[in-house]
Amino acid sequence: MATPDPRFVDAILDWRPTWFLARLLLVGAYLLGGAVKLTDWPGAVAEQAHFGMNPPALWAALTIAVELIGPVLILTGRWIWLGAGMLGVFTLLAAFTANAFWTMPPGPARFGATNAFFEHLGLIGGFVLAALVAEQAKRRG
């Protein structure tokens, strides 16, 4: 028999805003990134060019769209699976593009890129969990 959760844990998990706040924490960096890129178009294009994405303006526009639309879908609770999928695929592509640690010589830069790569994988897991929780809640009615 499983032991019950402590009361304070149940209180936090049962508190209605917890679900929204958890989603906001998950997507906040993407919202901020999309907003910053939207307000600094030349910087957004330069970032894509830095990572070898061609044409950089197209990739900047796609990045901004994904970084803004994905979080909105997740935060509004509509089509969470789609927003999570958009951000998950985007995050995986970004991890391989920006954090290719396996191509780097040993040292601090490789260590940082390795950490960032696996942090990106953790975010992808978070998106999968958000979609799973939303689907389970929908099925329970």
Side-chain-side CA neighbours of 69 within 13 Å: the count stands at: 12
Determine the average pLDDT of the residues in 88-95: 97
pTM of the model: 0.90
Looking at the chain, the whole-number percentage of residues with pLDDT higher than 90 is 91
Tell me whether residue 141 is in a domain.
no
87 occurs within a structural domain: yes
Residue 5: pLDDT band with limits 50, 70, 90: confident
3-state secondary structure of 52: coil
Q: Could you tell me if residue 27 is inside a domain?
A: yes
Structural domain including 36 reads 7-135
